[in-house]
Amino acid sequence: MFKGSYVALVTPFKDNLEIDFEAYGRLIDYQIEQGTNGLVPCGCTGEAATLSHTEQKECIRFVLERTAGRVPVVAGTGSNNTAEALALTQYAAEMKCDGALLITPYYNKPTAAGQVAHYTAIAKGADIPIMLYNVPGRTGVKMEPQTIAALSKLPGVVSVKEACGSVDQVTQILSLCDISVLSGDDSLTLPMMAVGADGVVSVAANVAPAPVAALCAAAAAGDYAAARKEHYNLARLFKAMFLETNPMPVKAALARMGIIKNNLRLPLVPLGEHHYAELDAVLRALSLIG
């Protein structure tokens, strides 16, 4: 259902750390003009953990209104509290988002049975396509392929953003069920698509939407020579987006490009100054800054 390059949107903040909707609009327009296939607001890259629920709803509504149906919107609605995740997902459904991205419950570290119970409650309580989000580096717990296969039988569970850093994980998932897999690691988009993934939920696409979309389109068409060319062209950017904790590097890059201000909410802080020489070199190589 979800295919191609979906961007994990950052949330721009003003100097007073209120949401900067003017900059948000610029970023959304830039994405759509450059060929991004879909938008994913309020995920980890969007600093959802520091947004109030009111702010999260405001962001979802704004992205939908600004997008105006031009591309799909998959709203981040996850939480480690099932009741909160359900309420946010119901809101996304009411607003007619194209889908909801739901992270594996973090901190609580639920067992496989708890993961199934969590997603079952949400799938039954909200009428919206659901993208599971498996990111053990953030949550402290991994969804095993067998668990994802079981969840794929739930009505509404149509996709999984797979960010456990393993192509073998994707292979196992797709050998067990026909759920759509999107890479959650930019550097693994090409190898994951080679074994059957449908695209990526990308951090790097915030900065370079057209090349990331081109990589996905080429791989989907079976043109792996063209896909490899894009992959190698973007390899340094993929690495640079994780010079420090995401979204610190991507916000620094977007600020260098003049799209947003380099503001983050604590406990995140701006990218360390010692990283800027490397970041700027990558951006210049891609002609993203002068």
Q: What is the Cα gyration radius of the chain? A: 18
- Which entry of 57, 142, 161, 251 is annotated as an active-site residue? 161
Give first-to-last CA distance, the chain, whole Å.
Answer: 38
Any catalytic annotation for residue 57?
no
Question: Closest Cα to residue 64, out of 41, 43, 44?
Answer: 41
Are residues 93 and 100 in contact, defined by beta-carbon separation less than 8 angstroms?
yes
140: left (phi over 0), alpha (psi -120 to 50) or beta: left
Residue whose structure tokens are 């405001």: 58
Question: Closest Cα to residue 44, out of 106, 109, 92, 93?
Answer: 106
- Which entry of 133, 153, 224, 261 is annotated as an active-site residue? 133
Any catalytic annotation for residue 133?
yes
Any residues with CB less than 8 A from the CB of 204 and at least 6 apart, and which?
Answer: 186, 212, 234, 237, 238, 241, 250
Are residues 8 and 206 in contact, defined by beta-carbon separation less than 8 angstroms?
yes
- Backbone torsions φ then ψ of 21, nearest 5 degrees: -70, -25
Q: What's the DSSP call for residue 70? A: S
Any residues with CB less than 8 A from the CB of 125 and at least 6 apart, and which?
Answer: 86, 89, 90
Residue whose structure tokens are 């800054």: 289
The CA distance from 62 to 73, in Å, is 11
Token duo for residue 4: 């191609």
Active-site residues: which are they?
Answer: 133, 161
